[in-house]
Amino acid sequence: MLDEPTIGLHPRDNGILLGALAKLGAAGNTLVVVEHDEDTIRRADHLIDIGPGAGKRGGRLVAEGTAADLSAQPDSVTGRLLAHPLRHPLVPRRPIDWTAPALLLRGATLHNLQRVDLRVPLGRLVAVTGVSGSGKSTLARDVLLANVQSALSGSRKWTGCESLEGFQHIDRVLEVDQTPIGKTPRSCPATYIGFWDSIRKLFTETLEARARGYAAARFSFNTGDGRCPGCEGQGIKTIAMSFLPDVKVPCDTCHGARFNPETLAVSWRGNSIGDVLRMEVDEAVDFFASMPAIAHPLQLLKDVGLGYLTLGQPSPTLSGGEAQRIKLVTELSKVRDDVTRRGQKPPKTLYVLDEPTVGLHMADVEKLIRVLHRLVDGGHSVIVIEHDLDVIAEADWVVDLGPDGGSAGGHVVVAGAPEEVVASGSHTGVALAPVLARA
């Protein structure tokens, strides 16, 4: 049993892994692999496709058989993408102007980096690629991210390099990773992204709430008199099981609604605050269509493929990929806020992402790519460490490290547009060529 064994592997290393799995199978063993990787899916003897959607919309067998069998099944999202892979670029590639702002790195020697001198264009989607162990994370996170953070805080003490210029064109820097957005059931997408306060305000403006004298605090499940006293606003109770893992069960007082009956008696357009928490994002987009401050972040959640989540989905139940996309939605909603702030210059942000496609289906990868493009179109800079060929093919600029891993890596093999990486004949270029050549 293997759960996504290709995570963190370069396409070259993928081939080596798939060869090893084939030998195991030829020796009479049975291999069951959970995987999103296209090459692994195509190499499988038998495919089982679960879906058709995610969350409550999934959980049933959509198709099974060969890749051709999946492609012939109209309900199979996997089959559709196997039959019709993404054609690149999805949006026109942004030109690189060398008179425009850029980060200038000189003499990077941290870990296995071999005195790397590099120019990273700002306001563009930049992919850092290379075989496993070539120095990608060291360059992007430990050198570029760390030193830009240090410079913006006023320090000029460089870590792992001789100097870094161009950071003056950046106002803030943020690493968007797959760590949880919250550790307690009270944390949820609505509170993390920030539109929950607007929803609470709507309920306080209803006639029923005014008659009862309810303020916004009444509709908080973190504190106050409005939350359920049985579960203290969590919607669930945790039962300690001594020598076994704790068991979480729905609250027998509020049945998961999080609020007490008096608070739930207040409704807006026929729904209580508890009903709103149970709404899926897709439903909530239409329900709050007349409220832009709420509808816009909800639409963004839908755009990144999270329409199946409920507004009150407890953060601990979210996967790493879901948490990361919620963080990206939070940033995208700030782009809109910046645009609506008249007379103020919106801050320019540098986003760094380390393999954001981990755990994502091919359809979700396409949605992630579009989110990254929207961040760049909003005037920001995105540096993504990635092995996924569809993401690399969408980059405006690629920094390919290598030529191999460990002591044989740490050099910039090629830096340029994806087409230039293909022309270089590097390990990444060889794998990227058929992706760019899709008809």
Structural contact between residues 409 and 403, judged by C-beta atoms closer than 8 angstroms: yes
Q: pLDDT tens digits, the chain, 439 residues: what are they? A: 999 999 989 999 999 999 999 999 999 999 999 999 999 999 999 999 999 988 888 999 999 999 999 999 999 999 999 999 999 999 999 999 989 999 999 999 999 999 999 999 999 999 999 999 999 999 999 999 999 999 999 998 999 999 999 999 999 999 999 899 988 888 999 999 999 999 999 999 999 999 999 999 999 999 889 999 999 999 999 898 888 888 989 999 999 999 999 999 999 999 999 999 999 999 999 999 999 999 999 999 998 889 999 999 999 999 888 999 999 999 988 876 554 555 567 789 999 999 999 889 999 999 999 999 999 999 999 999 999 999 999 999 999 999 999 999 999 999 999 999 999 999 999 999 999 998 6
pLDDT at site 335: 73
3-state DSSP of the chain: CEECCCCCCCHHHHHHHHHHHHHHHHCCCCCCEECCCHHHHHHCCCEEEEECCCHHHCCEEEEEECHHHHHCCCCCHHHHHHHCCCCCCCCCCCCCCCCCCEEEEEEECCCCCCCEEEEEECCCEEEEEECCCCCHHHHHHHHHHHHHHHHHCCCCCCCCCCEEECHHHCCEEEECCCCCCCCCCCCCHHHHHCCHHHHHHHHHCCHHHHHHCCCHHHHCCCCCCCECCCCCCCCEEEEEECCEEEEEEECCCCCCCCECHHHHCCEECCEEHHHHHHCEHHHHHHHCCCCHHHHHHHHHHHHCCCCCCECCCCHHHCCHHHHHHHHHHHHHHHHHHHHHCCCCCCCCEEEEEECCCCCCCHHHHHHHHHHHHHHHHCCCEEEEECCCHHHHHHCCEEEEEECCCHHHCCEEEEEECHHHHHHHCCHHHHHHHHHHCCC
Distance CA 111, CA 48 (A): 42
Structural contact between residues 288 and 296, judged by C-beta atoms closer than 8 angstroms: no
Look up tokens 């063993």; give the residue. 29
Output the six-digit token pair for 121.
């264009």
